[in-house]
A and B are shown apart, each in its own frame.
Chain A
Amino acid sequence: MQKKRWIECLLLVGLIILGGWAYQTRQINKANMTITAVGSTALQPLVEAAGEDYATHHLGTFINVQGGGSGTGLSQVQEGAVDIGNADVFAEEQKGIKVGRLQDHRVAVVGITPIVNRSTGVNHLTTNQLIKIFTGQVHNWAQVGGRDQKIVILNRAQGSGTRTTFERFGLKNHRSIAAQEQDSSGMVRQIVATTPGSISYVGFSYVDKTVQAIRLNGVEPTNQNVADNSWPIWSYEHMYTGLKPQPLAQKFIKYVQSKEIQNSLVRRLGYISMADMKVTRDGQGRVQEVEASHE
């Protein structure tokens, strides 16, 4: 018994020494070399990839990128709990946010298109038809030029950026009727692909062969059409900071907005680069032509 005690004590002392030694030899990581960005899951891959890039170029920095949703991102950056809040909506559009306390940094543009199940036999609609479908005035695809099939509406969750943008610019501020909801693009695409008669909407980068994208009023959902606003359903991806952001946060956002990232990562992830946009749009939805060069 006594001998066992002794060994235990020795082990404990050894562990403490080892711990102290490890603490002494740790790589020094200053507190202001780490920032945290939280928010939109749709924007997360871009910021994460840019963050990794940034960290390899600036040794000792660490960009911690997390999801949690635009609402979480905005409320946490407002509280000062995180350095950057990623959002797919303007802070003005999110209830409960004090816009005056936040600084908006737009980093990319995403186009949103209606998608339908391939069995509907529909590949173009007018805005009017779209509104009628989502407000429940039309129940069958035959009424809008498709096959005789019941329309199944699939919405994004209330308050999600994609839905807000879609209802505002796609449905001209009409509110969709209560219908099925999903909270992620991947899930929406999967369900539309497998459910006969279904219609929903996703960002351009989620469109693939399994679903049919819709031509709206004869305009194709392409990046070029978004750039000059002839395709009206698009939104900015924002990185919000407080009024006095951390220097590293500022530098990092500058980096994301730089030509280097805008021309490579942003495009590869299916976003539209800020440099390509021929128009700008503010929180009230006013569209303006871009003069001269961007920034």
Chain B
Amino acid sequence: MNNKLQKQLLKRSKAAKLERLGKTVSFLALMLITVTVFAIIIFVASKGLSTFFSNHVNVIDFLTGKDWNPNVTNSKGQPEVGVLPMISGSFVVTVLSAILATPFAIGTAIFMTEISPHRGAKILQPVIELLVGIPSVVYGFIGLTVVVPAVRSIFGGSGFGILAGTFVLFVMILPTVTSMSVDALRSVPRYYREAALALGATQWQTIYKVVLRAATPGMLTAIVFGMARAFGEALAVQMVIGNAALLPHSLVSPASTLTSVLTTGIGNTVMGSLQNNALWSLALVLLVMSLIFNLVIRLIGRKGAMSK
């Protein structure tokens, strides 16, 4: 009798078994994602690094060179693979569009959560979710038929360039940043607001001094994701930025981004050749740059976040 009871007590209960099972399954899911993520990163890195190891391109020349003609060798007998124009193009377009989109996205998110939650949920949210589903090609096409001529007639030049790219990306990343900011604001506990209002703060003071501060990390993530999308966007940007491997000297002169050169070139090169490896190096540069973005934003986030 005693023995039986002991056995029964020491045996894992059904709930405990389920608990272990659930924990293992969800852990495995996370591991699966982690493994695929690292597989892709390693894949890109190994292909991208072979430009330097098997084709012996100098890393410094690669990063500071201004000419991109992988088919041609220069006076030193090295292929002309300078990525400075693309790096600066990508960087400028991404930062500009994030700067442009952030106030709009956060403003809209505040409006949707704090000021008019009802209208926010009824009108704004569905519209924003709808926008995510518009394919890049369509964004690019509208950019080509509406934004480029507008830029050409207002700011001069051929219309193709960083400015047109910025406008298109602004609209493209807006839904991502807005909807993620909304999530961040919604996860601020209600009693924060109640406490601030009870202390006599106005609505704006509550939003600005309490809610926004508490939601800072979440909103920074939203901006990082928006920038990541802008950074990785290819088809739409490629159609309006002009795709010229030139250092951008003004906002309306044709420029190029890492992704636009990568996407236009990848089908025309042969796997394993220098031309192809150089394109993978672009993808690697892209990864490293978004890593840097990520770290910087996280650092800012740590400083700006309210200590819990």
Contact = CB atoms under 8 A, between A and B. Distances in A.
A binds B: yes
Which has the most chain A C-beta neighbours within 10 Å: B158, B160, B264, B270?
B270
A157 interface: yes
Contacts of A70: 267-268
Contact of A181 (B264, B269, B271): B264
Given A183-B264, A195-B158, A198-B158, A95 B245 contact: no
A181 B268 CA distance: 13
B71 A159 contact: yes
B170 interface: no
B265 A159 contact: yes
A61 to B, nearest CB: 27
A179 B159 CA distance: 14
B226 interface: no
Interface stretch (A49-57, A71-79, A254-262): A71-79
A71 B268 contact: yes
A95 B274 contact: yes
B265 A157 contact: yes
A150 to B, nearest CB: 8
A30 B298 CA distance: 56
B144 interface: yes
Nearest to B239: A187
A158 B265 contact: yes
Nearest to B246: A178
A39 B158 CA distance: 33
Nearest to A91: B270
A180 B160 contact: yes
Interface string A151-188: 01000011111000000000000010011111100010
B239 A158 contact: no
B72 A190 contact: no
A198 B254 CA distance: 13
A96 B273 contact: yes
Contacts of B254: 179-180
B183 interface: no
Given A75-B271, A181-B243, A191-B144, A96 B265 contact: no
Interface stretch (B16-24, B45-53, B62-70, B108-116): B62-70
The interface size bin for chain B is 35 or more
Contacts of A72: 266-267, 271
B107 interface: no
A194 interface: yes
Contact of A96 (B246, B256, B263, B272): B272
A94 interface: yes
A180 B243 contact: yes
Contacts of B148: 194-195
B149 interface: yes
B238 to A, nearest CB: 8
B276 interface: yes
A158 B70 contact: yes
Interface in A67-91: 67-72, 74-75, 78-79
B165 interface: no
A183 B242 CA distance: 11
Interface in A90-120: 94-97
A68 B265 contact: no
Contacts of B72: 175
A159 B245 contact: no
B243 A195 contact: no
Contacts of B245: 178, 181
A160 B268 contact: yes
A157 B274 CA distance: 16
Contacts of B271: 71-72, 75, 79, 96
B260 to A, nearest CB: 8
Interface in B263-308: 263-276
A158 B71 contact: yes
A8 to B, nearest CB: 18
A41 B271 CA distance: 18
Contacts of A178: 67-69, 244-246
A95 B275 contact: yes
A179 B253 CA distance: 10
B270 A74 contact: yes
B268 A95 contact: no
Given A95-B269, A183-B267, A195-B159, 13 more contacts: A70-B267, A72-B267, A95-B273, A96-B271, A158-B268, A175-B72, A178-B69, A180-B244, A182-B239, A183-B268, A191-B144, A194-B149, A198-B158
Interface of A: 41, 67-72, 74-75, 78-79, 94-97, 152, 157-161, 175, 178-183, 187, 190-191, 194-195, 197-198
22 contacts: A67-B267, A68-B267, A69-B266, A69-B267, A71-B266, A71-B271, A74-B270, A75-B270, A96-B273, A157-B243, A157-B265, A159-B70, A159-B71, A179-B254, A180-B158, A181-B243, A182-B243, A182-B264, A183-B238, A187-B239, A190-B144, A194-B144
Top 4 A-B pairs, shortest CB-CB distance: A69-B267, A96-B273, A159-B268, A96-B270
